Chain A
Amino acid sequence: KAGVTQTPRYLIKTRGQQVTLSCSPISGHRSVSWYQQTPGQGLQFLFEYFSETQRNKGNFPGRFSGRQFSNSRSEMNVSTLELGDSALYLCASSLGIGSADTQYFGPGTRLTVL
């Protein structure tokens, strides 16, 4: 079974621009979660989607948004980019949203904001 894929792997943007990142979950997985990692920080939770509905949202500004499609693929969008948005963005998929459901991570998208 193919793993979680994320595109693009690397991205360079300038302040004020917007960016869209894509995540394709493992086949059959209906839940996708997004995380941000910056130097010195742990993985910070962004959002969780299940069956096209946002089930949970982390403590991030409204510039960060996401969505999930009927095929469970997910996108996240960051508008009006700031330097501090430079980070590794990881998505993870799981079968469902149960507390014990294992999340399987993709390789991440490295975003650099200049």
Chain B
Amino acid sequence: ILNVEQSPQSLHVQEGDSTNFTCSFPSSNFYALHWYRWETAKSPEALFVMTLNGDEKKKGRISATLNTKEGYSYLYIKGSQPEDSATYLCASRGSNSGYALNFGKGTSLLVTP
């Protein structure tokens, strides 16, 4: 994988559902994986930075895992709430991207009451 890919592109869940998204990134010469939440009309907000294989991070109902050997990260949201509606972006940093943050196109989440 040369680019960062995120799936699904969009997701619509009901309030209270748990959900997860996938981020795939180049596994060679990997340095770090960043997750952001981007709400409409706001700035992207940093959620997690992960660097080590097997890393798990948690912030409230949101958690993320990292597998650097196979080049993927999962973001989980437990008990989705309408305020979780946003686009979730992941970005990897490694030599394949010239050490710049290389962003995926994001997963757009809509949580309805």
> A and B bound?
yes
Please classify how large the interface on chain A is, using the bins under 10, 10 to 19, 20 to 34, 35 or more.
20 to 34
Known pairs A41-B105, A42-B89, A42-B104; A99 contacts B99 (CB<8 A): yes
Q: What does DSSP make chain A's interface, helix, strand, loop or mixed? A: loop
Interchain nearest-CB distance for B4 vs A (Å): 8
* B93 and A107 form a contact (CB under 8 A): no
* A105 and B100 form a contact (CB under 8 A): no
Which residues of chain A have a CB within 8 Å of any CB of chain B?
3-4, 33, 35, 40-45, 48, 56, 58, 90, 92, 99-108
**A90: B residues at CB distance < 8 A:** 43-44
Please classify how large the interface on chain B is, using the bins under 10, 10 to 19, 20 to 34, 35 or more.
20 to 34
* A48 and B104 form a contact (CB under 8 A): no
Bound Cα distance from A56 to B99, whole angstroms: 8
* A33 and B103 form a contact (CB under 8 A): no
Known pairs A45-B100, A56-B100; A99 contacts B32 (CB<8 A): yes
* A104 and B46 form a contact (CB under 8 A): yes
**B51: A residues at CB distance < 8 A:** 99-100
Encoded as 1 (CB less than 8 Å from any A CB) or 0, chain B from 83 to 104 comes to: 0000001010110011111111
Bound Cα distance from A42 to B105, whole angstroms: 4
* B103 and A43 form a contact (CB under 8 A): yes
16 further interface pairs, Cβ-Cβ under 8 Å (given A42-B104, A105-B43): A4-B43, A33-B100, A40-B105, A42-B4, A42-B103, A42-B105, A42-B106, A43-B101, A48-B100, A92-B44, A99-B31, A100-B51, A101-B49, A103-B101, A104-B46, A105-B44
